[in-house]
Structure 1
Amino acid sequence: MTYVITQPCVDVLDKACIDECPVDCIYIGERMAYIHPDECVDCGACEPVCPVEAIYYEDDVPDKWKDFYNANVDLFSDLGSPGGAARTGKIDRDHPLVAALPPQAAPR
């Protein structure tokens, strides 16, 4: 089990979750952040600090955002487990689900 970042993060990229993650498993793509499912230790530190409530425990992802579980998993299928987002830096792409979304309005 793991935590999942969903659509409210798209085009926001607040990064408060990154500051709270004790294992450095939150990676930044072009338009949103992604949690590496094999590196996440399920501590939940990221969830309460997200200002747009985009992070959910895998079993609690709202139905309208269920596809974001696969987006978080699939993004790492060719990257493997880099061993930390800080070491890797920004990923120069997004999952196709995210890349295809129209620009998201900024939260108010």
Structure 2
Amino acid sequence: MAYVVTENCIRCKYTDCVEVCPVDCFYAGENFLVINPDECIDCGVCEPECPAEAIVPDSDDRAGAWLEINTKYSASWPNITRKIDAMPDADEWKDKPGKAEMLSPEPHKD
């Protein structure tokens, strides 16, 4: 079992979750984070840290296709191990539904 980042993270990209992860299994895209399910140890410490409530166990109904997306992008995006600033307008996008089509396949750039 693993945890999965879902649609709620898109255009927010808060990284509070990254800071508490004991195995550094988060990867950063341009406007989204993912968890590598093969590296996640299912400890769950990241879930309550997410202000957007975007992290769920892979057994949750909300995980659905997001498990495949997390797997795909964690193989090509850079690993992130420290907290960085959220997207500039993250608070405006935090609770908005229907953001899936806004997911950028581009990796995070410093």
**Common topology (TM > 0.5):** yes
Q: CA RMSD in A?
A: 2.5
CA contact under 8 A between 1:4 and 1:61: conserved in structure 2? no
Deviations 1:70-102 (A, max 9, x none): 10012245x4xx8x534xxxxxxxxxxx88427
Q: Which structure carries more relative contact order (alpha carbon 8 Å, separation 6+)?
A: 2
Cα distance in 2 for partners of 1:47, 1:18 equals: 10
Deviations 1:40-82 (A, max 9, x none): 11100100010010000000142xx5211110012245x4xx8
One-letter amino acid of the structure 2 residue matched with residue 68 of structure 1? W
Q: Is the partner of 1:12 in helix, strand or coil?
A: coil
Where does structure 1 differ by over 6 angstroms across 4 or more consecutive aligned residues?
Answer: none
**How many residue pairs get matched?**
86
Question: Partner of 1:66 in structure 2?
Answer: 64
2:60 maps to 1:33: no
Q: Which runs of 5+ in 2 are unaligned?
A: 82-98, 105-110
Query: What does 1:4-83 align with in structure 2 at a 5 Å threshold?
Result: 4-62=4-62, 66-77=64-75, 79=76
Q: TM-score, normalised by structure 2?
A: 0.68
